Amino acid sequence: MQSSKPTLDVWDSCCLIGILNGEKDKLPALLAQTRFLETGAAMLGLPIAVLDEIVTLADGTSAEENVRAFLLNPYVLPLHPNLEVSFKSKSLRMRFDSKRMPELYDKAVAAGVPKDQAKKLGVKDSEILATALFYQAERLTTYDPFLLFLGREYIEKETGMVIDLPTSPFLPFPDKKEE
């Protein structure tokens, strides 16, 4: 492990499930993160809400043992909810609801979010977002269109945390930095 503080990259469930499901459009970018994780440049933050969805999916399948072993890796950081996460999650849900923020729906739809997902931030999504914010993650990696929209429109400007697909190079390769 490096002596300096690594980058905290929080993954939404769709990232790990995309790997488990062998989705070819997602694999290259997601697997490219292995290099950062295994060199200690980054930690993989997994909110308990995400872990719950992954473990439930793998439970009773041939994937169970490998998923369990993967989660014990020293670069995997389970991120627990606590009081502050709960309050933050509630505030996010109150805020990102088109009933209270009338312009939200139109903006989200204009940004390409499907209409049925553009009305408000869901319970689990807000818990994951609140967890990433509370633990001061540099990044929340997701493919969810509404979370991506919120990131670009509000969260990144207000907090500095990036919400994006795993394509953008948020870190220089550790060995490149040393060159």
Partner 1 sequence: MPRRNHEPKQPKIGQGQLSLSLKLETTDRNRRNVDADDFFFAAEKWLRALKIFAKEQGEHVKWEIVDLRKSSALVEVQPVKVKSGKPAPQLVRKWEQGLKKIEDTGKPDPKFTPESLSALHDFVFSIPTNTVASFGNGAASERHKVTPMTQRRIEQALAAFPPEPRKEYVAQGSLRGLLAVLDSWNPDERSFRLKLPMAPAKPVKCTYRDASLTADLGESFEGMVEITGQLRYRPEQPWPFAADVERITTLPRKPKVSLKDLVGLVRLPEGQDSVSYVRSLRDAE
Binding site for partner 1 (CB under 8 A): 1, 3-6, 8, 12-23, 26-27, 30-31, 33-34, 37-38, 43, 53, 57-58, 61-63, 66-67, 69-70, 72-78, 80, 82-84, 94, 99-102, 117, 122-125, 134-136, 143-144
| Residues 108, 68: Cα–Cα separation, whole Å | 37
Amino acid in position 151: G
* CB of residue 110 to partner 1, shortest distance in Å: 19
* CB of residue 12 to partner 1, shortest distance in Å: 7
Whichever of 34 and 167 has its CB closer to partner 1, that residue is 34
Whichever of 30 and 155 has its CB closer to partner 1, that residue is 30
* CB of residue 36 to partner 1, shortest distance in Å: 11
Structure tokens given for 124: 């689990």
| Residues 41, 7: Cα–Cα separation, whole Å | 6
* CB of residue 61 to partner 1, shortest distance in Å: 6
Whichever of 72 and 179 has its CB closer to partner 1, that residue is 72
| Residues 81, 115: Cα–Cα separation, whole Å | 30
- Give the angle subtended at the CA of 140 by the CAs of 139 and 143, to the nearest 5°: 135
Query: Closest Cα to residue 53, out of 102, 96, 20?
Result: 20
List Cβ neighbours of 13 (8 Å cut-off, separation of 6 or more): 49, 50, 53, 54
Whichever of 31 and 110 has its CB closer to partner 1, that residue is 31
Whichever of 122 and 174 has its CB closer to partner 1, that residue is 122
